[in-house]
Amino acid sequence: MSISLRPVVLMNQSAAGTSPAVALDYRFGAGQQRNIGVQKNTADTVVLEVSVDGTNFQNITTFGAGVTNTVYTLLGPWLSMRVTKVGAAGNALVQGVV
């Protein structure tokens, strides 16, 4: 079963923690491109994690101190994605078309 590209809020919280995994549309293989928007407090850290099997996640990028608003372009045939937030200085909103 394939998943259609759709807008998703991956995380919207102020507490530290890890979001549930979100299934990604991977029909187009390595050519699939997704833009992920991140808005966070400058003191917090947000980590984007991806998986090819839905179980074992790896860090694909980290947004640390000093970063507040940015867009990350995720490339690859990933099966799922999740977000981990470290710190509780403010709200983190991570969203994109996945």
Q: Which 8-state DSSP code applies to residue 31?
A: G
2: number of Cβ within 10 Å: 8
Whether 30 shows a pLDDT value over 70: the answer reads no
Alpha-carbon dihedral sign for residues 67, 51, 2, 27: positive
- Which pLDDT band holds residue 98 (cuts at 50, 70, 90)? confident
Query: Does the domain made of 7-97 have the CATH classification 3.40.50?
Result: no
Q: Where are the domains of the chain?
A: 7-97
Please state the pTM of the whole predicted model. Answer: 0.88
Whether 31 shows a pLDDT value over 70: the answer reads no
Alpha-carbon dihedral sign for residues 38, 40, 42, 47: negative
33-59 tens-digit pLDDT: 889 999 999 999 999 999 988 899 999
